Structure 1
């Protein structure tokens, strides 16, 4: 795997220190622990603001794992491309969701260690249902789903638990969504679950 912001010598150490002091100065606290498995899908819920991204990166630095993330391919055009990839970005074309699931499963199957963050809402805007790609990636790659969160009201973030898909998508996703009850994004009115 190519070098990212998490694996760049010296830079990653300095950023980790800055993230720690920045979150502490703003009153944020971390709760829970990431999975010990070398490969997993990390769902980041709720996703209502652009601020979710830097907060998630900061928390990944403090927890000490390399977090990859998926973004629309337009973010990776021109001069931004190398920067976005260095920050852990993986470009995707939203028009071919099945292909994205299959390609991501293949990426997990050919990697020794890999964590990919996927917001089930798929957007910062208000939605009525989660996209299910994260679930089918975990199921197809036979890896767990880490239930990560950012709660702006309580100024806490981290991990709720680790979930292993059973194959009953409807039941499993309902269970996962219920875990996020009472957690508020930056804009609570845009959250599916409260």
Structure 2
């Protein structure tokens, strides 16, 4: 499967990889931005499979209904009910704490629409589970998947967010007007 994913991603689709998902760290949060199109998902899944690192994801519950539910679960997804006001951060921190190895991919924007500020859940998950954040981006303009080294949060949220956002400067998503 890994070879097929590499062939599709790099040979057929022409993407390049800049960096690697850490294999020596057992737990971390991956944040991927900008998230501007449904096309981000299959590219990210191909990148994950070709890397050989299992990165789980969460998605709105409706994606897991009907015939595609099995497919999304098989890819490592877990449905989330976004209509309820539940404490998702604490629930995900508990998952991190209960597993020996767990990596979770999230979009800090929380949507494919244009946003001016990121959601903060990924940050508090990383802090609560005491795990680093790995930044990843799909730069459609340059057809490059860029992956950062692990970043450990500090006690200065504003400074951390400036550092995290800087990684995504000048990156063009599939729909650049939404980046």
Q: What range describes the TM-score normalised by the shorter chain of this pair?
A: over 0.9
What corresponds to 2:28 in structure 1? 40
What corresponds to 2:71 in structure 1? 83
Alpha-carbon distance between aligned partners in 2 of 1:16 and 1:63, rounded to the nearest angstrom? 7
Tell me the number of residue pairs that the alignment of Structure 1 and Structure 2 aligns. 177
Alpha-carbon distance between aligned partners in 2 of 1:97 and 1:107, rounded to the nearest angstrom? 19
TM-score, normalized by length of structure 2? Answer: 0.93
The runs of at least 4 aligned residues of structure 1 exceeding 6 Å deviation read: none
Greater alpha carbon shift after TM alignment, 87-96 vs 173-182? 87-96
TM-score, normalized by length of structure 1? Answer: 0.86
Kindly indicate whether the alpha-carbon contact (under 8 Å) linking 1:69 and 1:90 is maintained by their aligned counterparts in 2: yes
What corresponds to 2:17 in structure 1? 30
**Which structure 2 segments of 5+ residues have no match?**
none
1:17 and 2:6 equivalent?
Answer: no
Alpha-carbon distance between aligned partners in 1 of 2:85 and 2:166, rounded to the nearest angstrom? 25
Query: 1:97, CA displacement in angstroms?
Result: 6.0
Kindly indicate whether the alpha-carbon contact (under 8 Å) linking 1:59 and 1:158 is maintained by their aligned counterparts in 2: no
Q: Deviations over 1:39-71 (max 9, x none)?
A: 000001111011110111111111110111110
What corresponds to 1:104 in structure 2? 92
Which of 33, 58, 63 does residue 70 from structure 1 map onto?
58
Alpha-carbon distance between aligned partners in 2 of 1:167 and 1:104, rounded to the nearest angstrom? 21
**Which structure 1 segments of 5+ residues have no match?**
1-14
Q: Deviations over 1:76-116 (max 9, x none)?
A: 12333222211111111224566110000000000111111
For the aligned residue pairs, the C-alpha RMSD in angstroms reads: 1.4
SS at match of 1:108: helix
